[in-house]
Structure 1
Amino acid sequence: MYLNLDKKELHQHIYRTISYDRLIELFQTKQNTLVKPQLWEDTFENFILKTKLKNGAGEQIEYDVNNRMYGQCWTLEKSSDAMWRIYSSKKDGLRIRTTIDQLLDSLCLATIDKNQCEHCVGKVEYLSETKLLRRARDTFTQHGEITFGGLFKSLLLKRRAFKHENEIRLIFCDWAKDAGESNLFKYEVDPHELITQIMIDPRVSYEEFKKIEINIR
C-alpha cells in the first residue's frame, strides 16, 4: 500500500542516516529493523493509536493494534546539514540510499508467507497542532471504527515544526499470535540489493574517512 504518494514518485531516492555500527549490523545480519512508533521521540507521534474511544453504548474500546505496529523513517532530503547534526551528532553517521518502491518491496518479499500482516510506505504530512487534533477526530467513525488505511495514515502525520525532515515512512502491522512482544521487528533483506549508495558524514576528518571507507568496502 502506498499513501500520500503518486505513482511517478515511487522510484524516487530516499535516505536514512544511521551509525557505523548499525550499518555493519545490517550487512552482517542481513536484517532490516523496524521499531514500534511508541518509541518515536515526538510527543505527538502515535497520538491516534493512543486515543481512548467509546462505542455507541458508552463502553471504552481498547486497541491492541498499538503494540502490533512497527515503522522506519527515511527522508527525501538528499543533503541536509540539519539532518547530519540531528542523526549524526558524534559525526559517526553514514547516509544510506534506496528507493521508495525498493524499500516496500523488501518488506513485502520477506513477509510473503505471513497471512496476518499489512504493510505500507507513505509520505508524512506536516500539520499544525489544531489540524492534527482535527484529523484525529476524523480518523474514527462515530462507533470507533477505523480501517488499516486510517491506521497507517495516522502514522504519517507530524507537527509542522518537523517539516524539514521531509519523511517517508515504512509501516508494518503484525497480527500474528505472538506479535507485539518485542519493540523491534526484524526481517530478512539483501543489503546489497536494498542499499544503492553509502555516504560518510562529510564532517569527519580525512583520516577517519579513510578508516571507514576501508572497512565498508
Structure 2
Amino acid sequence: MTAIRHHIPEPMLAAYATGTLPHAFSVVVAAHISLSEESRAVVEAHETVGGLVLEDACAADVPVAMKTSVMAMLDDPIPETPSFHGSSPYPAPVMALLKGAEPRWKTLGMGVRQDILASDKHGSVRLLYIPPGQAVPDHGHNGLEMTLVLQGSFSDETGTFGVGDVEMADETLEHTPVAAPGSPCICLAATDARLRFNAFMPRLLQPIFRI
C-alpha cells in the first residue's frame, strides 16, 4: 500500500476523540485511523489528554436516587454485541455497518454505484464504486464532504488520492473526481448536506439517489 499523504485535520480528529462528531463523519474517521498510524496516534493523544482532564476535574454531587439507579445498572447483564473484522477493502468500522455482509450496490449510472450505510438529519455515509477511468459528475458542495479511498485511487482539481487518503471538500470546492485506470475506485464518503450538481441530469436524479 502506498503511503498516506492526505490525513484528516487534527481539529476533526480531536472532535472524534471527544465524541462530538456526527455519526457519518465518525465512521469515516474510524475507518481512516484503522489505516493510518499517524492519525491513530493523534486520536490516542487527545484521548489521553481528555482522560487527564477528567481526573483533575472537580467532583460534583449527584442526587441519591440517581446514584442508586446507576449503581443498580452495574448488575444488569451486558448485551452481546457482534464483533466485525476488516475484510479487504473494507475496514472493520465499515464491516460493522455492513453487518459482515457484502455491499448492496445500487446503480447511479455510467457504472457508478453506491450503498448508503447510514443516514440521519445530521448527514449520511455511503460506499461509492467508480469504474476505472470513470468520472463522477462535476459538482460543488452545500456543506462538508469527507471521502476516504478504500481501493484504487481518484484524481481531481486538488490532487490524487490513494488508499487511506481523505479528501476534505467544503462549499469552496467544485470538482470532477476521476477514477484512475486499473482497479475500480471504492470510497467511503460522508456528507452533511446534498451535493450541488452542475449538469441537469444529475440534478434531476438527485432526490432518487439521495446524494
Scaled by the length of structure 1, the TM-score of the pair is: 0.23
TM-score relative to the length of structure 2: 0.23
Structure with greater contact order relative to length (CA < 8 Å, sep ≥ 6): 1
